[in-house]
Structure 1
Amino acid sequence: MVGVDDPPRRPQLRRADRLDLILDRDGPRCVWCGRSFAALVRPTTDHLVPRVKGGPSWLENEIAACARCNNERGHLTPVDWLAECERRGWQPDRTAVGAALTRLQDAIAERGGARRAARYLDGQLRRWS
C-alpha cells in the first residue's frame, strides 16, 4: 500500500520505448564497439550495473549496445569491459560510458534505494578515475 508521504512511482516504459529514448540520447552506435546500428547490427539496452548486482531498470542505468557486445559482456564490470573492447581494437565511446556512470550516480542520489547498485557503482567510479 502506498502511503501519503511516499514519492510518486514513475511509470515503467515498454522496452521498445526505452530503447528509442536511449538511442536518441546515446546515438545510433554501440557505445562499446562503435559499430553503427543497421540491418545486421541490432541495438539493445545494456545495463551498466547488471541487474544481478542490484542494477535498476532505469534509463540512467541503460546504454545503447549491439547485441554482440551485450551478450559478450555478460556480467563484466563497465571498466573491465571497456578495457577488453580497447584490447580488441574496437572504438568504445569513453565519454558516453563515463557520462552514463555519472548519470546513474546522480539518479541514485536523487531517488534513493538501489543500495547494492550504489556500492557497485562507487567501485566503478573509483576505478574510472
Structure 2
Amino acid sequence: MRQHERRTERLDAAVLAQGGRCFWCGQAFGRLVAPTVDHVVPRAKGGPSWAENEVAACRRCNGERGQRSPVEWLEECVRRGWPADAAALAAVLDRLDAAIDVHGGQRRARPYLRSQRRRLARTR
C-alpha cells in the first residue's frame, strides 16, 4: 500500500471516530469544509505521522493552530467559545504515549508529550 493511501485511510478513520466534526472547533465536515490531518504533537516537535498522533481538523483550525502546542490551542478554542474537548485531547495524548511505549523511538516527542499531558492536567 502506498503512503498516500494509508494517510487517506487514517484521515477517514479519524473523521469517522470524531463523528464527522473538527476535533478543535466542532464544525461539521462537508462539501465546503474539508477535513485535514492535524498532528497533535507537531511534526516540528518530533511528533510521528501515526494514527495515534493524528486528528481530523478543518483547514481553519489546522492553519491557525500552526505550531502552537495542543494545550495552548485548546485554550484558544475555549476562549473563542468553540466546543473543544479537554477529555478528548487527554485521550489522544494518552493514546500517543502508549503507542510510543510500544513502538519506541520518538526521542524528541517524549518530553514534549509529557509536558503537554502535565499542562493539560493542570487546566482541567
Whether TM-score is above 0.5 comes out as yes
Cα displacement (A) at 1:42: 1.0
Aligned to 1:59: 51
Larger Rg: 1
CA contact (8 A) 1:31 1:65 kept: yes
Aligned to 2:29: 37
Between the aligned partners of 1:93 and 1:75, the Cα distance in structure 2 is 19
Provide, for residues 37-63 of structure 1, a one-character-per-residue CA deviation record: whole Å limited to 9, x for no partner.
111111111001111110100000001
Cα displacement (A) at 1:93: 2.5
Provide, for residues 64-85 of structure 1, a one-character-per-residue CA deviation record: whole Å limited to 9, x for no partner.
1111100000000000000001
Between the aligned partners of 1:29 and 1:94, the Cα distance in structure 2 is 16
Aligned to 1:24: 16
Cα displacement (A) at 1:15: 2.1
Any stretches of 5+ residues in structure 1 without a counterpart?
A: 1-10
Tell me the TM-score normalized by structure 1. Answer: 0.87
Task: Find the residue that maps to 2:108 and give its secondary structure.
Answer: helix
Cα displacement (A) at 1:31: 1.2
Between the aligned partners of 2:87 and 2:62, the Cα distance in structure 1 is 18
Any stretches of 5+ residues in structure 2 without a counterpart?
A: none
Supply the RMSD in Å over aligned alpha carbons: 1.4
Provide, for residues 88-109 of structure 1, a one-character-per-residue CA deviation record: whole Å limited to 9, x for no partner.
1111122221111110010001
Between the aligned partners of 1:50 and 1:110, the Cα distance in structure 2 is 20
Aligned to 1:7: none
Cα displacement (A) at 1:14: 2.7
CA contact (8 A) 2:86 2:120 kept: no
Q: 1:73 aligns with which of 65, 81, 85?
A: 65
Provide, for residues 17-49 of structure 1, a one-character-per-residue CA deviation record: whole Å limited to 9, x for no partner.
111111122221111101111111111110011
Q: Which has the higher helix share?
A: 2
Between the aligned partners of 2:76 and 2:117, the Cα distance in structure 1 is 17
Tell me the TM-score normalized by structure 2. Answer: 0.90
Q: 1:103 aligns with which of 95, 104, 118?
A: 95
CA contact (8 A) 1:26 1:96 kept: no
